[in-house]
Structure 1
């Protein structure tokens, strides 16, 4: 997949205070972000958060109510979709059912004025790149879901856009195929240095494919950063709860010079300074603790004791639900932990740096 970089791949996108209003309803509220050339950035969030509207404004399928949109440094805020040098892979793939694979991929260049022979050559190059050589004469109905998805990508790539847009591209695939195809998309993006804006509601998908993730909520950006930053250091309860599994505990932060402690349910534990949200004062606070950060040890050997409510065997690990002084806790343990029975006492162990302190919402 070591293909030459398209000449216009160095696009880049900038949103500067962009809003979208429908009457009195604000779908996107003064959003600002940048996508560097050759970077894959994912918009992630729950339904109705504004991520798809944001994508459609990049594509020119929605008109911004305010702010500025730049692609490759050029202000395209008021430009039509066909004037923006972007291409979109839709959730439904939107393949023409009566055209074969080659004709589907050729359609865009021919419609843009490229000679048919040159369009076919470009299309066959992209089909080879995506492992679809030999399928040129098949109809979409004769392809698997994964093959249809790659045809949709080829149809977008053949236009060599400055920015490639993905709108929930894997939602129609089963879980195992989603993992494989998302890796193919990532490898393709990296090998061609494509500038990509990717929209999904699937947290694991976003973490797997992205250079950076922008999490949206209520039409605004809740937090943005690398996948590791968002997972390991969420800035709010919403982020901790939305990305991955997290135990959220309400309590209070106690400060004594350089030392910080968290208290809840009569249990006090130390927390490292790096785990304390910047500027968080002493007083009401929340703590986020990922299930895989919890170690299950013998009673009396951890930070505090808990009792098993349920233990489930999941093949690669066990999920253990605990009743504790901090309320209900979910822990991911080794498969042997599935042998725990309801009422068994266990110790809950974790390192101070494993917990993240957050403002109390």
Structure 2
């Protein structure tokens, strides 16, 4: 796992330097990170994710790429045809399945870090939490859905500005990669409202109700998707998400609530980011009953990476340094616990076996 530790160190270091050498962005509270340092941070993430060949479902993606000859006639256009067209294009250049992992890592991390660089107040915290919260590892596991999530993430500008039709086009494009992205269409009308109202309480109460009435909820849900390609999720039985993960996702929301007035005043689009993060927390709460629901949280967790950098803004100046180091320690301990103690994660690479 040494490559992953080096990745954490370098990605955080380059992101910190990107902010250190940043330029003010006019009269807004945003900054423009140093582009060279941002590119270096991207490069470390792309290298670590693109060279691996054993994490999660990577083997199955590589096996499919190697054994299936993707061409126009063989693609099912009623399914996630965009990803198959993408693989067909890659096969024109190379039959080595590692190219699929590398290029997907390139696209995914390029899109995610680009958005973070534009909206995060502390880029290095966003990148650090992206890695230590488990999102980066998950992006190497479910590479297809994370690619779709990264594409959806780029629509943040349209979401904040209320440009629905442009937002819709991005979502429909992402849905050709992974159909679950379609859930983001109705979400648009939910999150473009003031945060921390009675609707916020209703969403949280709904999550609690689902947890207590989980069997009835799943019966209704799986009857709806019975004739779709996701009907197989009905037999998914890998247990629920760790409650500790709910704590990790929920902690920033507590501070966002306590500093809600200042965030609303100083953070343009803050209500949207808070609401998206809240829905991600709701899915993670439900996922404690069945891990499959954590897949939906993928689309919303990326917004938490922006939100967590703004919670520093609500503290007194003398307390910000303590909170800053507290976040680093908390997420580092969680990263170590999840990947070393719980998962015993190993890193292997077909192209660079000497890395491990």
Same-fold status (TM-score > 0.5): no
User: TM tier, shorter chain?
Assistant: under 0.3
User: Larger % of strand: which?
Assistant: 1
**TM-score, structure 2 normalization:** 0.26
Please tell me whether Structure 1 or Structure 2 has the larger radius of gyration of its CA atoms. 1
1 or 2 for the larger relative contact order (CA 8 Å, sep ≥6)?
Answer: 2
User: Larger % of helix: which?
Assistant: 2
**TM-score, structure 1 normalization:** 0.26
